Structure 1
Amino acid sequence: MTLSRDQIAARLAEAGYIADGELATAVSLMQLLKRPLLLEGEAGVGKTEVAKALASVHSTELIRLQCYEGLDQAAALYEWNYQRQLLAIEAHKVEAGGVRMADIEDQIFSEKYLLERPLLAAIRRERPPVLLIDEVDRADEEFEAFLLELLSDWQVSIPELGTITAVSIPHVVLTSNGTRELSDALRRRCLYHYVDYPDVDREARIITAHLPAAGASLSLQIARMVEKIRKEELRKVPGVAETLDWAAALVGLDVRDLREAPEAVHETLMCLLKTREDKARFKPEVTQRLLGRVA
């Protein structure tokens, strides 16, 4: 059964992810059309969390493939357990000196010695999992081409075992931070949504959802302050995860109103500012100036 946009938004909220209307629509269409969903945006805006929440919505397993430069098929698809294979060969030599090599090969290149990696595991599950292909832009173009073939045919070829066809089609979420341009072929294969930093109201709801102790008033103040900070000339703009860390710190210090605790606000900005340059830029007077704009 395909869930509507409003149902998806409600289910994601129950899982702790506050989605806007466009993202909820994208996820709903992803289910309807059974297409991968490509989420692009700056680091820290919550792209990975979409997949985690989606796994909770469907009460299914989350299988994650973390991409990196030099990622190859062996790390993403499957490998043979070489150590166990060598031990098995030695055991055969001891137990049956006249055994044929072909018989040994048939045994050691079997399911027993196959190590599933994320992509193979995802297509062999009885219940469709959520397959998160995280930071696909960090992998090289050759791996992207291989990935495209898998997402198109939902089958893989293992020379020793033959063609393995998907038992079920996983819910696929790909994320990209835009470190390199993805191919047109991959983009055509996927539905697309750009995940931006949340607006003030939605970020306040995110804080409240994760930290009920913050309360509506403080959550709104924090969201407004973070919005002001993001507009400053920063080397690394704080994401939602940093906002939640900061909110947790303020709640832990029993801050109830940012304007009444300027010292605590300034001292805890280390939760948001993650480079030496950004910390140096934020003098106490800068913090005070921004606090003056938080109604």
Structure 2
Amino acid sequence: MEKMADARYIADRALATVLFLAHRLEKPIFLEGEPGVGKTEVAIVMAKLFDTELIRLQCYEGLDATTALYEWNYPKQLLYVRLQEKEKRSKDEIEKILFSSQFLIRRPLLEAIVRADERAPVLLIDEIDRSDEEFEAFLLEVLSDFQITIPEIGTIRAKNKPMVVVTSNRTRDVHDALKRRCLYHWIDYPSFEKEYKIIMTKLPGIDAKFAEQVARFMQRLRQEDLLKRPGVSETLDWARALMEMQKDYLEEAVVMETLGCILKYQEDIRKFKEEIWQDEEKRAAYIS
């Protein structure tokens, strides 16, 4: 926990324990939670703590094995073939070089396996819930063996297992088989005390009382019935914005002017303005 705090990440004991065990047992970590609560940041901090490279695979709908693993540099191959034909090289000579590592474009999964020969990197597989189930099944196979077979080259194995962090915003259920390969941890919205510490850690120049006021505001806001409750990232964005505006105390007018920093749906902004903020008792509680 202390080392993570030194890297400006406020972690509770449960998360610190999961990270410790994942490193010792050489198992992937599966982090689940609402958007903006600091899941991706865990991988970034791990790379800093272990002084190693961070390799990120951003998942999305339609992501396939080719995009995540490797592809051949076809334009470069075509140029090479034309040059070699002019020199009247044999077909066998051309093919031997044509499908070699110099024409191979390594995508994140292959890059992590190759880099692990030197020093185990941190492989971040971000927002796995955005990918398709077919890719999820493929990923399960890769995480089991940490080896990839390229027909033209052969099998490439990782000498050292990469440290893997898989994140999910839980927009869909991820298959149990993938979770069983990992150590699971749920990252929830922070308590007031934790959020206050996060603000003070991430924004060293902020006034302590102002940080406390911002943290209390956000804690109260998350209790409202909103389409999307703001995460810690919105808290920090808002606090930075207020500091840029030379504010060190929450004022009614400033709150209304900067709602876009913390609420990302027009319906939520309208509800806050027309229902929540119109209630004098609630308004007073928010900026107390």
TM-score tier by shorter-chain length is: over 0.9
| CA distance in 2: counterparts of 1:274 and 1:133, whole angstroms | 25
| Alpha-carbon offset, residue 292 of structure 1 | 2.4
Does 2:245 align with 1:253? yes
Q: Which contiguous aligned blocks of 4+ residues in structure 1 show a shift greater than 3 angstroms?
A: 287-291
How many residue pairs get aligned? The number is: 283
Distance of 2:82 and 2:276 partners within structure 1? 70
Residue 262 of structure 2 is matched in structure 1 by 272
Mapped to 1, the partners of 2:18 and 2:171 lie a distance apart of 23
Task: Say which SS state the counterpart of residue 124 (structure 2) adopts.
Answer: strand
What are the within-5 Å matches in structure 2 for residues 123-142 of structure 1? Answer: 123-125=113-115, 126-142=118-134
Structure 2: runs of 5+ lacking an equivalent:
none
Instruction: Give the letter for the 2:41 counterpart.
Output: E
After superposition, the CA RMSD in angstroms is 1.4
Residues of 2 paired with 1:284 and 1:246: CA distance? Answer: 21
Deviation at 1:11, TM superposition (A): 1.6
Match in the other structure for 2:75: 83
**Partner residue in 1 for 2:11:** 19
| Cα distance in 2, alignment partners of residues 290 and 31 from structure 1 | 46
Match of 1:191 among 161, 174, 183: 183
Q: Which residue of 2 aligns with 1:262?
A: 252
What per-residue deviation string (whole Å, max 9, x for no partner) do you get for residues 25-79 of structure 1?
1111111111000000111111101111111111111100001111111110111
| Counterparts of 2:70 and 2:152, CA distance in 1 | 12
Alignment of 1:217-256 (within 5 A): 217-256=209-248
Deviation (angstroms), 1:182: 1.2
Secondary structure of 1:128's aligned partner: coil
Distance 1:145 1:284, change over 3 A: closer
The 1:284–1:213 alpha-carbon spacing in structure 2 relative to 1, beyond 3 Å, is: farther
The separation in 1 between residues aligned to 2:93 and 2:134, in whole angstroms, is: 35
Give 1:156's aligned amino acid: I
Deviation at 1:265, TM superposition (A): 2.2
Residue 176 of structure 1 and its aligned partner are, at CA, apart by 0.5
Overall identity of the aligned pairs, in %: 53
Pairwise CA distance, 1:254 = 2.6
Find the residue that maps to 2:206 and give its secondary structure: helix
Residue 29 of structure 1 is matched in structure 2 by: 21
Letter in 1 for 2:205: A
Instruction: Kindly indicate whether residue 50 of structure 2 is the aligned counterpart of residue 49 of structure 1.
Output: no
C-alpha displacement of 1:153: 0.8
Pairwise CA distance, 1:133: 0.2
Residue 269 (structure 2) pairs with residue 286 (structure 1): no
Deviation at 1:253, TM superposition (A): 2.3
CA deviation after TM superposition for structure 1 residue 161, in Å:
0.5
Q: List gaps (5 residues or longer) in structure 1.
A: 1-8
Q: CA deviation at 1:264?
A: 1.3
Paired AA for residue 213 in structure 2? Q
Please give the TM-score of this superposition, normalised by the length of structure 1: 0.92
Compared with structure 1, are the counterparts of its residues 177 and 193 closer, same or farther at alpha carbon in structure 2 (3 Å cutoff)?
Answer: same
Query: Once structures 1 and 2 are overlaid, which stretch shifts more, 282-291 or 52-61?
Result: 282-291
2: CA distance, partners of 1:181 / 1:256: 42
